[in-house]
Amino acid sequence: MTEPIVSSPGDDAASAESAVEIRKLWTVFKSPGRAPQVVHRDLDLTIRRGEVLSLVGGSGTGKTVLLRQILGLEKPTKGEVSVFGAPPGELRAAGAAKVGMLFQRGALFSAFNVLDNIAFALRELKVLPDELIRDAAMVRLQMVGLGPEHAHKMPSALSGGMIKRVALARALIMDAPLLLLDEPTAGLDPESADDFCDLLRSLHRELGLTVVMVTHDLDTLFDLSTRIAVLADQHVVITGTAPEVMAHPHPFIQKYFLGGRGQRAAQALHEPPPVSRR
Amino acid sequence: MHPAGRPGTQPLTTPSSALHTAPSSSRFDDPVSADADRPRLERSSSGAVEAHGCWTALAFSSQRDWKALAASLAQTQAAGAAWDLRPIGQLDHIGGQMLWNHWQHQWPAQLEMTEPQRAVLEQVAQYSVREPEDPQPTWWDYFLRFANRGPHMLETAQRFVTLIGQFVLDLGTMLRAPHRAPWRDISGHLYSTGATALPITALVGLLIGVVLAYLTSQQLRQYGGETFIVNILGLSLIRELGPVLAAVLIAGRSGSAMTAQIGVMRVTEELDAMRVMGIPHGFRLVLPRVLALAVAMPLISLWTSAAAMLGGMIAADLTLGISPGYFMQALPRAVPLANIWLALSKSAVFGVLIALIACYHGMRVLPNTESLGRRTTSSVVISITIVILVDALFAVLFKGVGFR
């Protein structure tokens, strides 16, 4: 559509313009009567503006916890997280205009119907007329591939895949510059997952979103991400493009990417989408 | 092309992205946009309508800017005019939606825009649909809903009777094979509904005893019947107030907790998981709660009465000079033992009712927050009402028992 807005990973200006900076982060879960459990130890991670970064790691390596710390929902035990140069708490005060989050289980408001769920953040501005808000919410609903007939359903009447789509529509409503996705394609059928990738790619291209994604779906991983960060041994082992990551000798990476499933998915690996910048 | 010289704009962006990238200062720092980013309409020299500024949801969130923009939009005619969107700093889907709605869902005759803007607008145009009609209830629906109340109440009664029947059957199962009963659950609920309720019931009981003693002592002194305070306090606290007070507190404290627990288990499909494993809800969830409360309730009621008597005794000593020694001596003569048995059995019935009502409502929770809240409220309100109702029934039935 447009000429690709490319910046090479080595671009100095781009690395100066980071969306999320995590420095020397420690997360320790303490529960009385048990030994404290160290989840992150001296974790460093920089997410550049306009990239799609996938977080990969085994179960219990603290991927979701990291997302929650970026959102400011949880405070790290030690270390520093900054989002667009400010602590995450300030970001949360600005609300849905700055960051959209797709929670693992959707986290739809069960008391509202689908349309009201999507429109909620816009309506809370208390500025825009209701008609515009409803139209905008309907557009989002269509964008994520749901028909208008679902607009008045309650979340309890939706299937798992539909909940994911509505939650995505809700996360997208304000075109926030930072989008966090926790397992976006888990529970979607392959075709929906492909649709999801297409949608995210086009949004990324048109709006230059920064996307941070936790995923175990190797197809989505290779399809969307400009960079992959691997969490293991309580820190980020490597960040880089898919071929760079796969060349790393860490045993987890070898098992994860070079197992049978990884091989199959990597065969379909094509050029990652360009890094766009806003 | 649009000059990228707004304050805070990153000069390194390519020309086409400059039209669509956020100037970092306005987008990320300050909700009240700088003047250059204010969304607005201007007339160009050639008569075309030029859109300037940031047309984003964030920019519209300023009440002042929005009002100004809405006013100037209202003055601009939609069709026919030539539009130029190229000066727009940033256009997102909300801004696109606004333009599209203003154009009444048609492309204007003449339109100049950049490629990213076209992509956004095309997406809006492609996906814009009217919201489907949400059928509003008619008067007939209201009438049907009203007419349905009777059958609905019968249904509720039937379900509750079923629950009681199931409980009796489960009790039979348990008595036939006591080694398979959920003893651990019973003892757990006994602790959480009984032992942990002791401090609050003691405090409330004590205070009620003090209040009652003070009030009656005022009246009794007028007639010179000070010693009758033992009869009044003893009978009213042990026979009536103790059990009812304890039951009301437990209904609010443990009944609501039971409803919420089972309700959340319903929301998270834990109940379904249990059913799939072949574990009956009645035996595993309802039975232990009901049994635990049936045992705990009489004990708590006795404990509350004791605390209330202590409070009354202290107050009687202070106001009327009736010594605790005399009080304790006169109490057995004033209150026959039958009253304690009556209070204990009454409390056991209260416990069973509170637990059954709480479990009933917990099982009926629908998977949404509103239903959970409503069911918890009804559980507490209904159990308190039923407790008082049943207490009145006991008072009538046993009017000849326990008096001297």
Token pair in block for residue A259: 């197992």
Task: Give yes or no for residue A263 having a pLDDT over 60.
Answer: yes
Specify the residue for token string 């907790």.
B257
Task: Give me the percent of chain B exceeding a pLDDT of 70.
Answer: 91
Q: A17-53: string of b/e by CB count within 10 Å (b at 16+)?
A: bbbbebeebebeeeeeeeeeeebbeebebbbbbbbbb
pLDDT digits (tens, 9 = 90+) for B174-206: 999 999 889 999 999 999 999 999 999 999 999
Scan residues 94-113 of B and list those with Cβ closer than 8 Å to A. 94, 97-98, 101
CB of B140 within 8 Å of a chain A CB? The answer is no
Mean pLDDT of B138-165: 92
CB of A201 within 8 Å of a chain B CB? The answer is no
Q: Distance (Å) from the C-alpha of residue B23 to the closest C-alpha of chain A?
A: 8
How much is the pLDDT for A3?
38
Residue B224 vs residue B32, higher pLDDT = B224
What element of type H or E holds B111?
A: strand B110-112
Mean pLDDT of A84-103: 76
Alpha-carbon torsion, ordered B179, B180, B181, B182, to 10 deg: 120
Mean pLDDT of B253-263: 95
CB of A123 within 8 Å of a chain B CB? The answer is no
Answer whether A174 sits within 8 Å of B21, measured CB to CB: no
Q: What is the mean pLDDT of chain B?
A: 86
CB of B369 within 8 Å of a chain A CB? The answer is yes
Mean pLDDT of A76-97: 78
pLDDT band at A82 (very low <50, low <70, confident <90, very high): confident
Residue B7 makes CB contacts below 8 A (sequence gap 6+) with B23, B25, B34, B36
Residue B3, amino acid: P
Using alpha carbons, select from B5, B24, B25, B28 the residue that is nearest to residue B15.
B5
How much is the pLDDT for A97?
73
Give me the DSSP letters along B157-176.
Answer: HHHHHHHHHHHHHHHHHHHH
B139-143, B220-224, B306-310, B332-336 — most confident range: B306-310
Answer whether A131 sits within 8 Å of B60, measured CB to CB: no
Q: B41-63: string of b/e by CB count within 10 Å (b at 16+)?
A: beeeeeebbbbbbbbbbbbbbbe
Compare CB distances from A156 to B115, B120, B366 and report the shortest one's residue: B366
Length of chain B: 404
Task: Give yes or no for residue B10 having a pLDDT over 60.
Answer: no
Task: Give yes or no for residue A9 having a pLDDT over 50.
Answer: no
Residue B310 vs residue A94, higher pLDDT = B310
User: With 0-12 CB in 10 A as exposed, 13-18 as middle and 19+ as buried, what is A144?
Assistant: buried
Residue in chain A lying closest to B126 (CA): A139
> Using a CB-CB distance cutoff of 8 angstroms, which residues of chain B are in contact with residue A136?
93-94, 97
Answer whether B60 sits within 8 Å of A149, measured CB to CB: no
User: With 0-12 CB in 10 A as exposed, 13-18 as middle and 19+ as buried, what is B70?
Assistant: middle
Phi and psi torsions of A239, nearest 5°: -125, 140
Task: Give yes or no for residue A249 having a pLDDT over 50.
Answer: yes
Compare CB distances from A143 to B22, B94, B123 and report the shortest one's residue: B123
Q: Are B59 and B27 in contact (CB under 8 A)?
A: no
Q: What is the DSSP letter of B286?
A: I
